[in-house]
Structure 1
């Protein structure tokens, strides 16, 4: 059975969904290449959230998105504990 590969678009949509469910309004989720840092994935929230944005960098776009999703999940887990 072949493994189903996720696309970066699907990863972005999943991060957007997670953030909207737990934090409210999301302005955008995206990934871009920064010349000095490398690939950077970012989620930016509307003004009503305590933290304005979250970022994660990686060796490629997929790695950056995975790290951002894991970071969002850790924050959600912390909020649910408190």
Structure 2
């Protein structure tokens, strides 16, 4: 029971690291979807990989936007909206 910290106790670095972990996971999934498109032999599987790629790109854009916002908030004197 000694290690029961919350995200608020861990500070902004925990959230920062979580965003980058999410980014890495999405980038890996995106790479796999692109490989399935490139090297797939089944037309249905290739089409599914294209749909997955489109969804993953939207998620990646969202995560990168959150990372940029977090980078701004980490700067001294940053404004709070």
Indicate the structure (1 or 2) with the bigger Cα radius of gyration.
2
Could you say which structure has the higher strand fraction?
1
By relative contact order (CA 8 Å, sep 6+), the higher-ranking structure is: 2
TM, length-normalised to structure 2 = 0.31
More helix per residue: 2
